[in-house]
Structure 1
Amino acid sequence: MTPSDGMAPLPLFPLSSVLLPGAAAALRIFEPRYLDLVRDCGRNGSGFGVCLILEGSETGAPALPAAVGTLAVIEDFDRGADGLLVLRVRGERRFRVRHTRVRDNGLVVADVTWLAEDETMRPRPEHMLLAELLRRMLEHAVGDSVVRIPEHRFEDAAWVGWRLAELLPLAEPERQALLQEDDIHARLQQLLEHVA
């Protein structure tokens, strides 16, 4: 289900980490409110929002979510060795939280507006170093598998930025700042300053 551009209600899964567009994450599900969320997503073919926790924790009382998050779509699920449900999700479109409310079961639901999707554009000359850095990081991490990544990906400024934001050793507030930045080149500049 593709989100529309208008305001829409979205169940939230606040985390102590940032989910970036295109990034994968594994989530262990055991609280009833999140089991209900997964059931509803399965029935509706929908995703849910992941937001960084600003106050609170991942379990217990509802946490205060950051104002910008990422739509998470379930790609796979399994049972862990401990018997808990494990989801593999992937980040898709970014959104801004407008209002939140808490259901009786403790699940936070937000009215969100969808942020513009990134345009495909080449990195500026001063950011080409970042594409090469990403290529080397991927070669080191996965070896020969990097050849399967199409060359045009390294010429897509947004993709390069999101992958570096995922792989570099950034603090979660730094990742959140990148997630909140709408300007692709400004994101790359922040990353360049981090690695310089």
Structure 2
Amino acid sequence: MTESDNTNDWLPLFPLQTVLFPDGILPLKIFETRYVDMVRECMRNEKPFGVVAIRTGKETGATTQPEAVGCLANIVHWDMEAGGLLMIRTQGGLRFRIRETRVLADGRMEGLVDYLAEDTLVTTDPMLTACAAALKAITDDFDQRVGQDNPTDYPFATPLRFGDMGWVANRWSEILPMPLPMRQALLETADVAQRLAIIMTYLKQQQILTT
């Protein structure tokens, strides 16, 4: 699907104080009735919802203003706990840009969106080699301590794709300590090489990469 492929369907939106990236894993605890209803409807229709970072307002507020670019969230696991708390595990899909929003009577937000192009696969680049090696060291350490036996606890979707520039850039964008606006800016960066270049600069500033 490319950026020019539009949809006239209203996409359910979940404004949050976080940024979801393509192929990223986002577990959520849902307790508000409007969002429990939204997720149940998405599961019944086997459709995703959209995660968008909050520009102004709060997650529980009625006047929340979302950022213009978000990411589809596909529900890959769910569990209903006692007391009506809905636990879900989502995986990021395509990025999208919001054209128009509306608020339903129950306070849920929906948007008309344009889907953005998937990252171009780049597998050979010195910058990728360095960033991928540093990321693999983290996953190797996690594998030794915890392992991949329980996929619902593993922080990344598998298979791990260290030769994919977009995948590597997105995983670093998720785990590095950075302010929400910076994560959002990375999500909105269309050029995958530019996104990874920003990540590499940040890794050097944090002395995670020294060369």
Give, as a single letter, the amino acid of the residue that structure 1 aligns with 2:187. L
Q: Distance in 1 between matches of 2:126 and 2:27?
A: 35
Report the count of equivalent residues: 190
Partner Cα distance (2:89, 2:112) in 1: 24
> What does residue 29 of structure 2 align with?
28
Residue 6 (structure 1) shift: 1.4
- What is residue 195 of structure 1 aligned with on the other side? 203
How large is the RMSD of aligned CA atoms in angstroms? 2.0
Contact 1:127 / 1:189 at 8 angstroms: preserved in 2?
A: no
Unaligned 5+ segments in structure 1 are none
Structure 2 residue matching 1:34: 3-state secondary structure: helix
**Cα pair 1:62 1:107 within 8 Å, conserved:** no
Matched to 2:138, the amino acid is M
CA distance in 2, matches of 1:44, 1:95: 20
Corresponding residue for 1:143? 144
Contact 1:11 1:49 in 2 (8 A): yes
Name the amino acid aligned to 1:165.
Answer: S
Residue 65 of structure 1 is matched in structure 2 by 66
Report the Cα distance in structure 1 between the residues aligned to 2:72 and 2:11, rounded to whole angstroms.
Answer: 9
Tell me what 2:18 maps to: 17
| Pairwise CA distance, 1:29 | 1.5
The answer to whether the Cα contact below 8 Å between 1:13 and 1:51 also exists between their aligned partners in 2 is: yes
Letter in 1 for 2:189: E
Instruction: Judge conservation of contact 2:132–2:168 (CA < 8 Å) in 1.
Output: yes
Where does 1:41-120 land on structure 2 (aligned, <5 Å)? 41-80=42-81, 83-120=84-121
Per-residue deviation, residues 28-52 of structure 1 (Å, max 9, x unmatched): 2122221221122122110100000
Looking at structure 2, the residues matched to 158 and 70 of structure 1 have their Cα atoms a distance apart, in angstroms, of 14
Q: Give the Cα separation in 2 of the matches to 1:90 and 1:78.
A: 16
Partners of 2:42 and 2:84 lie apart in 1 by 21
Give the whole-Å Cα distance in 2 for the aligned partners of 1:150 and 1:24.
13
- The answer as to whether partners of 1:23 and 1:91 remain within 8 angstroms in 2 is yes
Q: What CA deviation, in whole Å up to 9, does each residue of 1:119-173 have, x standing for no partner?
A: 2112522342101111111122332748xx768x211111111111122222221
Code of the aligned partner of 1:157: M
The structure with the largest helix share of the pair is: 1
Q: Does 1:5 align with 2:5?
A: yes
1:155 partner SS = coil
Paired residue type of 2:6: G
